[in-house]
Structure 1
């Protein structure tokens, strides 16, 4: 069983999956007969972090966050995906009330297990310095935040500088030619989302590709804490790829 996190140079590398409740994992990654209420604990015992993605679709209950907190080891960390009401419906405009509702819904119940909050932007949202500056200014400062943009206009020095000014992490989003990927560290968090090696949300990562990601994680850890989440869950590859990356980081060599 791997340690909860891998301390490498200045930062710590944590690896996990985006979500955990997938039918295709049952009888495959999850042992046959494992009851569903035990799946989170099983996964958390083999990863060092998990990205909570249900919070993107609807507000969760404080009791749910407490249950998730108690299901994981002491040194475990959750990332929480921000509400799509804020990012996709309101498109970051006039969201002060929405942000209040989101954080009041219970994420802080995770306590010391609360890691970065992920704000995934719609692909149709282009970079607007005033809009992004206003949004960044509303975000609570007691939580670390990262942004996954999907419009190429964000790949600009001005956008990265603005992220650095506000302490916002830039998500490294690996998708097979679907969205731009910027390998830029803009805060004390390097946040990686691996959506599939060759097929979005579906294909697994080859050994050589995992070797490359392990090397990148070590390099980024010189400047930041690194969080890596596999989102290629459609065919059940995510937990297996996460374990494979954990093994590479744990054994100390990736060539």
Structure 2
């Protein structure tokens, strides 16, 4: 589990737009690359945009060790590549260098690479991104691991020496929960309920995209009962589960349903007396 802290200098009342990506599987032929590119362009154009990846950005289903592999699994430029991992990391640098990524983590597809090949391709990509001259003015990327906390401390530009005015607490996990009906909600909520503090928890893995609003009650120091909202957010995918014609994909063989191509947008606005948080999904 990782613990990340981001200090963000801002004006109070300015909205920050966080996009959470997972399960892009961007080296798979079934990845909706054009849709993903359009989506990233749109989200990056928002003011104060931040991208955060929580695992399985790559597919890494390679020949030799993975029973899911077929010759048509990877994108054509990697299909006959001996140095698959090296070329994929370079390919991702080209794909993502211009976007406002602040963190990226791993999922089960990446842990398989770590276990079999003794290298962490996400750490390698982050190193390359942080050394890329075109990203000099961007926030350095952080390694997010498989799960963790991310604390965003909003510091007033007018008075930076006064410290953080508001704090947004994020809890994230690549995901370990599924189910055709509940889409992992029960497992994710049980996991998150034992951990504090958080305003939003995001999780992926099951390729679903939805949001649940969780009202919480507490009593303040003066004895007043107060309520606040927490958000449980499933991050979606850009991997097409079903394609017309050609060899059947793994998800088709296993009978997985079609999925929406989406990634949630979490809007956070620090104000003098608290945070405004909203979640938007399903915009593709």
TM-score using structure 1 length: 0.41
TM-score using structure 2 length: 0.38
